[in-house]
Structure 1
Amino acid sequence: MKFYKNPDFIILCVLFLVNIVWDILLYLNPDHQTIWNYLLNASYGLMFLYAGVYGVLKGSTLDSASPIRKMMFWLGVGFISWGAGLFTWTYYNLFLNIETPYPSLADILFIMAYPAIGLACSYFIKFFKPLLTPKIIRDSVLLAVLATGFSFYVFNPSLSPELGFWEKFFNLAYPVGDSIIMSMAFMMFRIGVGRMQPGFLVFLGGLSVMIVADFAFAIQTSKEVYWNGSISDLLFIISIFIINLSMIMVVSSQTTESQFIGGNIAKESEIKV
């Protein structure tokens, strides 16, 4: 079945359009502290939960021995955690009257998504292991170090002894987590470009937008200009739409390992990427 004929794709498009229109309307309203602003996070949290459940359930229809199935599963776990974080954030907004709950239980759920997404990426990388050269590994590690340094320089997260444990932990965990995911995405692109089916290229695009969204959120919160429905939320909505679309494309094509790599890895392993 073509992915655009899949009922799951239609549901995804409806969720996306509702949230995009909702966000645009919030931009047109000069008051950014309305109940509609707070409810937006719960609304697009449904998109993360939908992607999560889709990854866990639909991924099980793929070859049980394939790392693609494991990749889909862990992406699902990560997005369920992220969606739960958005609903928790909304709870703080609506019932505890905390506009920007940080640190909070929502942050624990957001941070829990990082290792799950990282593990999903590792299964992708494992699939292309014969093409993983020392140069790619070195460049990826260097990117992670530089991105972490850049984050600390620009955002200057405080690690003061006067702060509580959780605030110091999240101030450190967010930039490090983003940098690691960024380096893994870079590694995936280097070893997989030209060798993978379109669904996985779409996934890399969505993951890249998600990283940008996270950095945008960090910039806004560090400058105390974040509001529910701002540019970072718009980017998160776009990113989860793209990533969920990629998951639907993979499942709809009933990807096999040979389709996934688009060729013989053994023969290509001698090629420097």
Structure 2
Amino acid sequence: MKFYKNPDFIILCVLFLVNIVWDILLYLNPDHQTIWNYLLNASYGLMFLYAGVYGVLKGSTLDSASPIRKMMFWLGVAFVSWGAGLFTWTYYNLFLNIETPYPSLADILFIMAYPAIGLACSYFIKFFKPLLTPKIIRDSVLLAVLATGFSFYVFNPSLSPELGFWEKFFNLAYPVGDSIIMSMAFMMFRIGVGRMQPGFLVFLGGLSVMIVADFAFAIQTSKEVYWNGSISDLLFIISIFIINLSMIMVVSSQTTESQFIGGNIAKESEIKV
């Protein structure tokens, strides 16, 4: 079945359009502290939960021996955690009257998504391990170090002894986590470009938008200009749409190992999964 004929794709498009229109309307309203601003996070949190449940359930229909199934599972775990974080954030907004709850339980749920995304990326990389050269590894590590340094230089997250444990932990964990995911995405692109199927290229695009969204959110919170429905939320909505679309493309095509790898890679190296 073509992915665009898939009922899951239609549901995803409806969720996406509702949230995009909602966000645009919030931009047109000069008051950024309405109940509609707070509810937006819960609304697009549904997109994350949908992607999470889709990854766990639909991924199970793939070959049980394939790393793609494990990749889908861990993406599902990550997005369920992220979606739960958005609902928790909304709870703080609506019931505890905290406009920007940081640090909070929501941050614990957000940060739990990072290792799950990392595991998903590692199964992707496993397909191309024989093509993973020392240069690619070195460049990826260097990118992670530079991105972390850039984050600390630009955002200047405080690690003051006067701060509580959790605030210091999240001030450190977010930039480091984003930098590691960025380096893994770079590694995936370097070893997979020209060899992977469209669904996985779409995934890399969505992951890149999510990284940009996270950095945008960090900039806004550091400058204390964040509001629910701002540019970072718009980018998160776009990113989860693209990533969920990539998951639907993979499942709809019932991607096998040989389809995923592409025709040229077998000539370059023997892939043992």
TM-score (norm 1): 0.98
Identity, % of aligned pairs? 99
- 3-state SS in 2 of match to 1:61: coil
* Structure 1 position 222 matched with structure 2 position 222: yes
Distance 1:153 1:272, change over 3 A: farther
- 3-state SS in 2 of match to 1:217: helix
Paired residues for 1:44-59 under 5 Å: 44-59=44-59
Structure 2: state its 5+ residue gaps. Answer: none
Query: Hey, what's the Cα distance between the residues in 2 that align with 1:3 and 1:266?
Result: 27
Query: Hey, what's the Cα distance between the residues in 2 that align with 1:102 and 1:224?
Result: 12
For these two proteins, the number of residue pairs brought into alignment is 273
Distance 1:134 1:272, change over 3 A: farther
Q: Contact 2:130–2:271 (CA<8 Å) still a contact in 1?
A: no
Deviations 1:79-135 (A, max 9, x none): 000000000000000000000000000000000000000000000001110110000
Q: Contact 1:202–1:242 (CA<8 Å) still a contact in 2?
A: yes
How far the C-alpha of 1:268 sits from its partner, in A, is 1.5
Identify which range, 76-85 or 263-272, moves more after superposition.
Answer: 263-272
- Find runs of 4+ consecutive structure 1 residues off by over 6 angstroms: 270-273
Query: Hey, what's the Cα distance between the residues in 2 that align with 1:125 and 1:272?
Result: 12
TM-score (norm 2): 0.98
* Structure 1 position 174 matched with structure 2 position 174: yes
Deviations 1:121-162 (A, max 9, x none): 000001110110000000000000000000000000000000
Q: Contact 1:131–1:270 (CA<8 Å) still a contact in 2?
A: no
Structure 1: state its 5+ residue gaps. Answer: none
How far the C-alpha of 1:22 sits from its partner, in A, is 0.1
Q: Contact 1:258–1:264 (CA<8 Å) still a contact in 2?
A: no
How far the C-alpha of 1:265 sits from its partner, in A, is 3.4
How far the C-alpha of 1:184 sits from its partner, in A, is 0.1
Query: Hey, what's the Cα distance between the residues in 2 that align with 1:33 and 1:8?
Result: 33
Q: Contact 2:144–2:179 (CA<8 Å) still a contact in 1?
A: yes
How far the C-alpha of 1:271 sits from its partner, in A, is 13
The equivalent of 2:245 in structure 1 is 245
How far the C-alpha of 1:267 sits from its partner, in A, is 2.4
Distance 1:244 1:211, change over 3 A: same
- 3-state SS in 1 of match to 2:60: helix
Q: Contact 1:133–1:272 (CA<8 Å) still a contact in 2?
A: no
- 3-state SS in 1 of match to 2:92: helix
How far the C-alpha of 1:270 sits from its partner, in A, is 9.6
Q: Contact 1:48–1:79 (CA<8 Å) still a contact in 2?
A: yes
